[in-house]
């Protein structure tokens, strides 16, 4: 144990309860941890496990319903419970700073950036005006804002999400906090921006020795920044240890399950199988009387697991809340056999083809009524692709790259401004969904991103599915429709009596299951899934992916799967299209796109994703800057301004050619194919592949 003085925060036997309608809900129980100066502790777990509650409890922000019912929180050896309101106010934003997920809500929209930052110094440091503005400018430069003097005059809505989060970080560090609480600080950001923010946080910590509490559901991120990790489940810490030991040699069945749920970037679908965890996180109304994970645990034993679990010391500072951890670790994870590799499909019917499709939005400025001078924003630019029956096409790219616009054109929610769209042999270029033929409408369905908006909250599951069957399916008659609804519920593995439940009362994962069932109600030829898993927790995400795959296989449906999560796309897609600023910069089979030769943008995207597996070694140029707006195309490569491998004098002046790297594998780049082939693969394995197969990995590498 380190010196007493070096312990910044220590939480002892914490229990937090929320008052509910009839009885208390135990949000956190029996939680103890300590963070030392310059250390970063990661709290990981699914939503509803009490991670954020701990952060709120530290700052005493529990609201009028929440209270600390047991234990204490010591900040620099002072008991937080004894602090007055005045002391607390000085502490918050001063010696303890917090950064939350939504940077835009953390900033005051009516104040200039500079003034907001200065406010921190006035309140917590009491400096005079000149010194304040110097400090603000220094800090903005330190968080990587290229032109600090220009930034101070701007308002939050005038800067991008990534820059907003930088400003929030600057604000947090200005008061020189001893402890920084980070609650999912990068979840709303693109992977590339996330990578930059994480680098920045790492540098700031190294330079200032700030202790950090990092809350995230993303295991890769946690590995990157944290020294120690506490895995939370149902309000308890179930496993604690160094980041490396927890992630490489997880002992608790929950940790093992969580890691097995994470799709991998370096392996294709044929090489491994995601294992989803059954069940969901229980909500406790009293301190648990048995292992909280028992219901979902494959290793659970009567007599051993049905009593309260204590954290057991495994040596080396590692602790686990499982009495059977030795047996569990010995058993390893019995991964089911791999899904058979998708065979290279014979040329089948093309159900969809896009040819030179473009979509331009006209930006009308206020008070500018002349149509001619309206600026044009190009969302899609000369997109050409084809989709065969039963095929899965993944579309990846940062936000703002036109992925969703492409989906809306295919589904007839938007009409392209140029090019041709052919669907099931018919031209639908100028046809919104209302003007398409019944056959064309029925055969294209969608799965949406936001589970809370995808189902009508006023309708019951039964009504929703029956209506879909009636309008989309072939079943006639009430009994036949009922049978069809039951088939769909079986397909998405939901109990049949769920039909009476109103959609508003379902959990996010359940809503998304019903949405999948609704989309497949009429056995469509094509389902467009626009980020269907990005709002879901890790274990639920995996389950939905499995469902999509099995539903697709059952009805022979083609799938367009849009996501910013490259690992998910790699797992689910046969072919992948990488989009940048409305253009497809690379398209090919999943394994082709993720290994050289690839487009420099694809390389940069891959390099930005944090990996859970520490054996992956990636030393790559980071992608800096942000997706701009493709306002006018001056015949250059759109990626050139951010490209680490741009050829000076060529890339910014000429439109790049399309190179055919292999049959069906196209790359839009100026670099010669030989150079692209020579790019080192992003996934090098440290010390050779043979040594790196760690215990938890699925056995069939």
Partner 1 sequence: MTGPATDTASAAARPSAQPQPGQAARRPRFRKLRRSKVLGIGIALIAFWVAVAILAPLIAPYGPNIQHTTALANPFPSSDHWFGADPLRRDIFSRIVWGARPVLLVAPAALFCANVVGIAIGMSAGFYGGWVDELCSRVIDVLLSFPKIVLYVVLIASLGPSALNIVVAVILVSSPGIGRLVRGLTIELKTRDFVTAARMRAESGFYIMLVEILPNARGPLIVDFCMRMGYTIIAIGVLGFLGLGLPPPNPDWGGMVREATPMLTVYPYMAIFPSLAIITLVMGFNLVADGLQDLDHGR
- The residues in 529-588 that bind partner 1, with binding defined as CB under 8 A, are 540, 543
283 contacts partner 1 (rule: CB under 8 A): yes
* Residue found under tokens 């290229």: 146
Q: Which stretch binds partner 1 (CB under 8 A): 122-130, 274-282, 306-314, 352-360?
A: 274-282
Contact 593, 268 (CB under 8 A): no
Interface pattern 384-413 for partner 1 (x via CB under 8 A): ---------------------------xxx
Cβ-based nearer residue to partner 1, 392 or 449: 449
Number of residues that this document lists for the chain: 701
21 contacts partner 1 (rule: CB under 8 A): yes
CB of 246 to partner 1, least distance (A): 25
CB of 289 to partner 1, least distance (A): 16
Cβ-based nearer residue to partner 1, 115 or 433: 433
Mutual angle of helices 161-174 and 129-142, in 10-degree steps: 130
Q: Which stretch binds partner 1 (CB under 8 A): 333-341, 398-406, 487-495, 631-639?
A: 487-495
Closest CA to 280 of 48, 51, 546: 48
468 contacts partner 1 (rule: CB under 8 A): yes
Cα separation, 662 vs 389, in Å, equals 22
**Which residues partner with 7 through β-bridges?**
36
CB of 442 to partner 1, least distance (A): 7
Contact with partner 1 (CB under 8 A) among 457, 625, 641, 695: 457
Contact 422, 600 (CB under 8 A): no
3-state secondary structure 612-660: CCCCEECCCCCCCCCCCCCCCCCCCCCCHHHCCCCCCCCCCCCCCCEEE
300 contacts partner 1 (rule: CB under 8 A): no
Cα separation, 276 vs 290, in Å, equals 23
495 contacts partner 1 (rule: CB under 8 A): yes
Cβ-based nearer residue to partner 1, 474 or 701: 474
Contact with partner 1 (CB under 8 A) among 86, 458, 476, 674: 458
Contact 351, 423 (CB under 8 A): yes
CB of 465 to partner 1, least distance (A): 12
Maximum separation of any 2 CA atoms in the chain, in Å: 79
Extract the tokens encoding 378: 């190009």
Mutual angle of helices 191-208 and 161-174, in 10-degree steps: 10
448 contacts partner 1 (rule: CB under 8 A): yes
Q: What Rg value do the Cα atoms of the chain yield, rounded?
A: 26
510 contacts partner 1 (rule: CB under 8 A): yes
Cβ-based nearer residue to partner 1, 487 or 653: 487
Q: Which stretch binds partner 1 (CB under 8 A): 85-93, 440-448, 588-596, 669-677?
A: 440-448
State the distance between the two ends of the chain, measured CA to CA, in whole angstroms: 39
505 contacts partner 1 (rule: CB under 8 A): yes
Cα separation, 418 vs 380, in Å, equals 10
CB of 68 to partner 1, least distance (A): 22
471 contacts partner 1 (rule: CB under 8 A): yes
Contact with partner 1 (CB under 8 A) among 55, 444, 475, 488: 444
Cα separation, 505 vs 499, in Å, equals 12
Contact with partner 1 (CB under 8 A) among 88, 433, 549, 658: 433
Alpha carbon of 123 to those of 117, 119, 174: distances in Å?
10, 6, 11
Cβ atoms within 10 A of the Cβ of 644, count?
14
Cβ-based nearer residue to partner 1, 440 or 552: 440
User: Which residues are CB-neighbours of 526 under 8 A, at least 6 positions away?
Assistant: 351, 352, 387, 410, 423, 443, 444, 445, 557, 558, 559, 560
Contact with partner 1 (CB under 8 A) among 13, 134, 295, 362: 295
Peptide bond just before 527 cis, omega within 30 deg: no
Cα separation, 335 vs 158, in Å, equals 49
CB of 473 to partner 1, least distance (A): 10
Q: Which residues bind partner 1 (CB under 8 A)?
A: 20-22, 276-280, 282-283, 295-296, 411-413, 433-434, 438, 441-442, 444-446, 448-450, 453-459, 467-468, 471-472, 493-495, 497-498, 500-502, 505-507, 509-510, 513, 515, 518, 540, 543
């Amino acid at each position: 144990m380190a010196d007493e003085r070096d312990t910044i925060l220590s939480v002892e036997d914490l229990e937090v309860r929320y008052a509910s309608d009839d009885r208390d809900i135990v949000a956190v129980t029996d939680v103890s941890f300590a963070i030392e100066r310059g250390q970063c502790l990661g709290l990981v777990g699914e939503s509803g496990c009490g991670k954020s509650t701990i952060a709120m409890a530290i700052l005493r922000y529990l609201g009028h319903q929440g209270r600390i019912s047991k234990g204490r929180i010591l900040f620099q050896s002072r008991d937080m419970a004894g602090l007055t309101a005045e002391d607390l106010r000085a502490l918050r934003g001063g010696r303890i700073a917090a950064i939350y997920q939504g940077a835009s809500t953390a900033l005051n929209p009516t104040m200039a950036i500079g003034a907001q930052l200065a406010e921190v110094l006035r309140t917590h440091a009491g400096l005079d005006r000149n010194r304040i503005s110097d400090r603000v400018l220094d800090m903005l430069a330190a968080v990587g804002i290229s032109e600090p003097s220009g930034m101070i005059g701007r308002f939050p809505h005038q800067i991008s999400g990534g820059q907003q989060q930088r400003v929030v970080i600057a604000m947090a560090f200005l008061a020189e906090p001893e402890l920084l609480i980070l609650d999912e600080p990068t979840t709303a950001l693109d992977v590339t921006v996330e990578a930059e923010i994480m680098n920045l946080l790492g540098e700031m910590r190294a330079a200032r020795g700030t202790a950090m509490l990092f809350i995230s559901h993303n295991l890769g991120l946690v590995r990157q920044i944290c020294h120690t990790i506490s895995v939370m489940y149902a309000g308890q810490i179930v496993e604690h240890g160094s980041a490396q030991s927890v992630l490489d040699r997880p002992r608790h069945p929950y940790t093992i399950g969580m890691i097995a749920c994470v799709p991998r970037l370096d392996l294709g679908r044929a090489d491994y199988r995601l294992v989803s965890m059954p069940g969901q996180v229980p909500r406790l109304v009293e301190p648990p009387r048995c292992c909280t994970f028992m219901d979902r645990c494959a290793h659970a034993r009567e007599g051993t697991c049905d009593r309260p679990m204590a954290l057991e010391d495994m040596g080396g500072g590692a602790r686990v809340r499982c009495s059977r951890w030795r047996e569990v670790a010995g058993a390893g994870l019995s991964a089911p056999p791999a899904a058979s590799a998708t065979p290279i499909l014979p040329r089948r019917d093309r159900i969809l083809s896009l040819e030179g499709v473009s979509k331009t939005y006209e930006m009308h400025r206020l008070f500018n009524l002349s149509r001619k001078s309206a600026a044009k924003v190009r969302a899609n630019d000369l997109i050409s692709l084809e989709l065969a029956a039963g095929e899965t096409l993944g579309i990846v790219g940062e936000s703002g790259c036109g992925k969703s616009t492409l989906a809306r054109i295919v589904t007839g929610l938007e009409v392209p401004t140029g090019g041709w769209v052919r669907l099931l042999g018919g031209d639908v270029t100028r046809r919104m969904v209302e003007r398409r033929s019944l056959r064309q409408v029925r055969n294209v369905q969608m799965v949406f991103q936001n589970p809370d908006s995808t189902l009508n909250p006023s309708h019951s599951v039964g009504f929703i599915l029956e209506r879909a069957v009636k309008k989309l399916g072939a079943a006639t008659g009430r009994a036949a429709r009922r049978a069809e609804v039951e088939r769909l519920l079986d397909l998405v593995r939901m109990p049949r009596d769920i039909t009476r439940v109103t959609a508003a009362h379902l959990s996010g994962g359940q809503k998304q299951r019903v949405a999948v069932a609704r989309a497949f109600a009429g056995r469509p030829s094509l389902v467009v899934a626009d980020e269907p898993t990005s709002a879901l927790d890790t274990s639920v995400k995996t389950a939905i992916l499995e469902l999509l795959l099995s539903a697709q296989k059952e009805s022979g449906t083609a799938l367009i799967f849009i996501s910013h999560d490259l690992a998910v796309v790699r797992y689910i897609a046969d072919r992948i299209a990488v989009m940048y600023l409305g253009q497809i910069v690379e398209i090919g089979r999943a394994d082709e796109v993720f290994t050289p030769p690839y487009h420099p943008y694809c390389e940069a995207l891959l390099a930005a994703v944090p990996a859970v597996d520490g054996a992956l070694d990636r030393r790559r140029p980071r992608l800096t800057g942000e997706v701009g707006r493709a306002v006018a195309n001056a015949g250059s490569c759109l990626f050139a301004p951010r490209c680490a491998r741009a050829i000076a004098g060529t890339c910014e002046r000429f439109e790049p050619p399309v190179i055919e790297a292999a049959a069906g594998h196209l790359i839009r780049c100026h670099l010669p194919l030989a150079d692209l082939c020579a790019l080192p693969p992003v996934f090098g394995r440290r010390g050779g592949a043979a040594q790196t197969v760690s215990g938890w990995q699925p056995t069939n590498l």
